[in-house]
């Protein structure tokens, strides 16, 4: 019985002439191998290797050809598993909900709160919550005092820092030292008050970092000793990093 020549094993490198499918695959692989080898040599040349170094690299590569071919063959005979269609057609999960603003902190008398934000939105929301617990609101800001509701406007005492005198005989502005003195006078010995300020950026530009940092660091001990509350809103990007660290260490709550 004559054996079927199609079932006979082929020796490595034997090319069955006349088999177009085999010839196309062999030619495609041969061309890809040439391109890969030339690209590798070109890469070594562009890196500035000498002739001796190139010879060593090429000989080392030639010695590993059998291993590389075997790895390539295994990758072709064991293709990666495909994702089943059922996984692709599953109902997509709902989009995650956007993360909201951080919750406002818990309130306690004698504490100081530093809100790190570009605009004093959360600090004002916290002030509106705690204002009814205090006898007065001392408003240290360039902005007009807010309406707190329930007769709260009568309890708001504005302490607005103004620009320093420009040498023209005008009354000097209310600086950090004067503001601290007024706070001491208005709250001395009475019911607890809350101090709100979003003016540190302005004080920095008018009185410099050291004076402003000392005023900011004075507020937390004042709140603890008087039993009141200090609320400060500050854009961290407006203060030097080392000054910001000093201020943050002084406050009992960072928001």
The 10s digit of each residue's pLDDT in 129-186 is 999 999 999 999 988 888 776 555 567 888 877 765 444 444 456 789 899 999 998 8
Measured between its terminal Cα atoms, the distance across the chain in Å is: 91
Query: Under a CB-based contact definition with an 8 Å cutoff, are residues 161 and 217 in contact?
Result: no
Residue 225 in this model has a pLDDT that exceeds 80: yes
State the helix-helix crossing angle for 176-187 and 209-226, rounded to 10 degrees: 10
Between these two residues, 104 and 152, which has the higher pLDDT value? 104
Q: Count CB neighbours of 247 within 10 A.
A: 24
Cα 15 from Cα 22, distance rounded (Å): 8
Report the C-alpha dihedral over residues 60, 63, 67, 73, rounded to 10 degrees: 110
pLDDT value, residue 171: 46
- Could you tell me which residues come within 8 angstroms of residue 173 by beta carbon, excluding any fewer than 6 positions away? 161, 162, 163, 164, 165, 206
Does the pLDDT value for residue 37 go beyond 80? Answer: no
The mean predicted confidence, pLDDT, of the chain is 78
The answer to whether 206 and 163 have CB atoms below 8 angstroms apart is yes
DSSP state for residue 78 in the 8-state scheme: S
Element (H, E) at 36: helix 20-46
Question: The whole model's pTM is what?
Answer: 0.58
State the Cα–Cα distance between residues 157 and 205, nearest whole angstrom: 24
Instruction: Please list the alpha-helical segments (H only) found in 81-227.
Output: 85-88, 121-130, 176-187, 200-207, 209-226
Least confident of 2-16, 63-77, 148-162, 191-205: 2-16
> What distance in Å separates the CA atoms of residue 249 and residue 66, rounded to the nearest whole number?
65
C-alpha–C-alpha distance, residues 235 and 244, integer Å: 10
Are the CB atoms for 164 and 199 separated by under 8 Å? no
Inform me whether the pLDDT recorded for 245 exceeds 90: yes
Q: How far apart are CA 147 and CA 166, in angstroms?
A: 33
Q: Give the chain's length.
A: 255
User: Taking residues 43-51, what's their average pLDDT?
Assistant: 71
State the pLDDT at residue 161.
78
Distance CA 102, CA 116 (A): 11
């Amino acid at each position: 019985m004559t054996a079927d020549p199609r079932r006979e094993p082929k020796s490595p490198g034997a090319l069955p002439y006349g088999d177009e499918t085999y010839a196309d695959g062999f030619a495609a692989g041969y061309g890809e191998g040439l391109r890969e080898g030339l690209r590798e040599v070109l890469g070594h040349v562009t890196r500035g290797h000498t002739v001796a170094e190139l010879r060593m690299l090429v000989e080392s590569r030639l010695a590993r050809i059998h291993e590389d071919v075997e790895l390539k063959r295994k990758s072709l005979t064991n293709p990666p598993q495909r994702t089943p269609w059922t996984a692709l057609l599953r109902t997509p999960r709902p989009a995650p909900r956007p993360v909201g603003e951080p919750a406002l902190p818990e309130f306690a008398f004698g504490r100081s709160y530093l809100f790190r934000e570009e605009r004093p939105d959360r600090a004002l929301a916290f002030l509106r919550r705690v204002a009814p617990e205090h006898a007065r609101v001392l408003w240290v800001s360039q902005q007009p005092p807010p309406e707190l509701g329930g007769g709260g406007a009568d309890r708001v005492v504005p302490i607005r820092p103004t620009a320093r005198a420009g040498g023209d005989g005008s009354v000097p502005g209310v600086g950090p030292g004067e503001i601290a003195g007024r706070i001491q006078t208005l709250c001395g010995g009475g019911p607890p008050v809350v101090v709100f300020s979003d003016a540190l950026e302005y004080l920095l530009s008018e009185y410099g970092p050291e004076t402003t940092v000392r005023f900011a660091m004075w507020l937390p001990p004042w709140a603890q000793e008087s039993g009141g509350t200090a609320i400060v809103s500050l854009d961290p990007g407006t203060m030097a990093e080392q000054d910001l660290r000093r201020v943050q260490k002084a406050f009992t709550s960072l928001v």
